[in-house]
Amino acid sequence: MNEEQLLIEYLAQVNGLKGVMRFGDHRKAVHEPVSTHMHLVSDMAQRFMEVYDLGLNYYTVMQMGTRHDFCEIEMAKTRGQDYSAFEVANNIDLQMQRDAEEEKNIEKFAKKYGARFKDIRDECEAKETREALFFEACDKIQCNVHCLPVLKSLTKRQAAFAATYPHKAIANFPELIPFYQEFQAYKKQEYLKAGKEWKDEYEFKPQKLTKCAPPLQLLLFNEYTL
């Protein structure tokens, strides 16, 4: 297969992501294709880098955005059902199954489309670079943004899981703490509007803030929230 044929095959794979539902804690309420998630989290990361002076490698972050869930095109064919994020997070067997499938598929794509596929995935998984830590935070925030419109349909366990889902990732990239502080206040209002309990344990309490967050509307502008 020549380079042009590989490009055509790759584009067909990318197009197929529109029909793959990703791991999600709210799959019965709002279906989100993998392609939609990857676009939204990439756009969010780009906007953060425009608003804040983070000194990150833009190309690396965008590659993480457009490829971090690429292997789910194959996972959808083999896993048989779409486990929720809550189920995966609370079941070590599902975690191991998912990780094994990801590793197998990313190796396959790396052989076909280039080693960078695996390199970028490994960097995301290792969470040792600032780019990886930043992207992890964006990824978790986007999941929160996505579930806000369907809060009424979430169970108590799901709502509790979503309330604190980004906490660890934000703590690992403190430059986003000012934004997250304001986002948590916004999220609390949405929970209360939806008739959901907001517990003190859901609060994110950083020891120190050194910057002021920009207005929320500068950063959250997708159709689900505003």
In order of their start, the domains of the chain are: 3-218 (1.10.3210.10)
pLDDT for the residue 87? 55
Q: Which residues contact 119 (CB under 8 A, 6 or more apart)?
A: none
Helices (H), the chain: 3-16, 34-51, 58-67, 72-78, 85-89, 92-113, 116-126, 130-147, 156-164, 167-171, 177-193
pLDDT, average across residues 13-31: 64
Of the ranges 4-13, 19-28, 86-95, 209-218, which is most confident?
Answer: 4-13
What DSSP designation does 211 have? S
The two counts, helices (H) then strands (E), for the chain are: 11, 0
User: Quick one: which of 153, 136, 17 has its CA closest to 84?
Assistant: 153
Q: How would residue 223 be classed by pLDDT, with cut points 50, 70 and 90?
A: very low
Residue 108 is inside which H or E element, if any?
helix 92-113
State how far Cα 213 lies from the chain centre.
21
| Per-residue pLDDT at 118 | 86
Amino acid at 38: M
Task: Give the pair of three-digit tokens for residue 74.
Answer: 């194959």
Confidence of residue 224 (pLDDT cuts 50, 70, 90): very low
- 126 burial type by CB count under 10 A (0-12 exposed, 13-18 middle, 19+ buried): exposed
Tell which wins on pLDDT, 85 or 69: 69
Give the tens place of pLDDT for each residue, 168-194. Answer: 999 999 999 999 999 999 999 999 999
Closest by CA position to 161, among listed 82, 69, 89: 89
Over pLDDT 70: what percentage of the chain?
A: 77
> Higher model confidence: residue 187 or residue 207?
187
The pLDDT of residue 31: 64
What dihedral angle (degrees, nearest 10) is formed by the CA atoms of 125, 129, 133, 134?
A: -130
